Amino acid sequence: MFCKSYRPDTEVSIINYIAQYPSSAFLYCGVVMVATLMAYRASLTPNTRAGKTSLLFLVLILTLFSSLRGSSVGTDTAQYLSNIFYVQNMGSIRRLLEPGFDILVLFISFFIKDPQFVLVVIALIINGLIVKRLWMLRSQISFSYAIFIYTTTYYIMTFSGLRQWLAVSIIFFGSKYLFSLNYFKYVVTVIIASLFHNTSIFALILPILDMLSSKLKYRRQKLMFILLFFLGPLLVGGIVILDSRTNLLSQYGGYFLQLRHFVGELSGGLMIWIKIIIGIFVWMSIQKSSLPNSDFRARVFNIYFLGLVVSFPGYYIANLARIGWYFNIFETIMFGLLAKDRSARARVLIIVITTLYILLFILEMVGSGRGHMPYIPFWK
């Protein structure tokens, strides 16, 4: 059965969660340090038993720490546990247009019918796919630094919004098809992800962005671009029909309408401005980078910067930033590429990025921005 833990009530409007729950802060910091250390050890000896063991331990610790959390850890964990319990007992699919999550729950329940075990499998899928994708790029990026960025920023986010993070991890792993120009397989990957969360359809923009990033210099890209040109009207018509049936785009209409209030609040959201400035410096750095494969760097950077642009309004409009998750996650690759660069410019930038992300990580704990403080395991 699902957990019975709870978040202690407080009447204080502003609370320092690190001061109130130092043991929880210690646990989160420990996960980041151990995960980064395991990633570094795995990258040193990638083809040895020790390296594979370190990689396995990395995925294991990320999976267990996430999935053994109580119902109060995460903004919607209690609701997900309740939904899982409902699907397991009713044996039916609740979301006909997004059946992926319920189908996964029913499949897992065929082996072990327990909501907490479902969280274990989901955490394994999310973290396994993300870590595996980064591991596949270890020859081009600093794997340990990419894991550091992931654990200080996105890992805590995976405690909430499980359906969307399943979709994000599937698309992120499927980016191997995007960068190998196998756009058809990538589109199939997005379709699979849309079974979990229909906003993943926004990731269909990436093949077009990728073709433009490479300036259509590959024959396969030129053929695909011509195909899209002729099939474009059919694609637009299909999206319109899909929206009429799923309310895919209309459900976000209210967010975009709020943009009229956007200009008056540009003084807020300091952190996104800082991240955009970092993005500009990253662009300047990769222009003079000594790393090989500049084409790959440019393609990754464009996705990374797209994430910043899409997420920008989300710092002022509730929930809109979640659409950017499909692109933001690529900053783990972008910063991993940058950490691989040995130039003085890149080294300075990495120091700045590391300092900023540690600060972000601490601030998230201070205010429990993701509903993750205090950390209470499910058995308490």
End-to-end CA distance of the chain: 13
What six digits make up the tokens of 160? 């909430």
Mean pLDDT of 92-99: 80
CA–CA distance, 154 with 147 (Å, rounded to integer): 10
Expressed as residue numbers, the domain containing 62 is 18-255+269-367
- pLDDT value for 342: 79
**Residue at 37 is within a domain:** yes
CA–CA distance, 80 with 159 (Å, rounded to integer): 11
Instruction: Please report, to the nearest 10 degrees, the dihedral formed by the alpha carbons of residues 190, 191, 193, 194 taken in order.
Output: 120
- pLDDT value for 6: 43
What six digits make up the tokens of 171? 């698309």
Nearest Cα residue to 206 out of 219, 192, 189, 220: 189
**Residue at 115 is within a domain:** yes
Contact assessment for residue 207 and residue 186, using Cβ atoms and an 8 Å cutoff: yes
**Residue at 219 is within a domain:** yes
pLDDT score of 215 more than 70 = no
Cβ neighbours of 111 (radius 10 Å): 9
Q: Collapse the DSSP code of 322 into the 3-class scheme (helix H, G, I; strand E, B; otherwise coil) and give the result.
A: helix
Most confident of 183-192, 210-219, 366-375: 183-192
Among 230-234, 247-251, 258-262, 285-289, which stretch is predicted with the lowest mean pLDDT? 258-262
**Residue at 300 is within a domain:** yes
Among 63-67, 179-183, 233-237, which stretch is predicted with the lowest mean pLDDT? 233-237
Residue 8 DSSP class: P
Q: What total number of domains does the chain contain?
A: 1
Q: Collapse the DSSP code of 222 into the 3-class scheme (helix H, G, I; strand E, B; otherwise coil) and give the result.
A: helix
What six digits make up the tokens of 263? 């200009």
- Model's pTM, two decimal places? 0.84
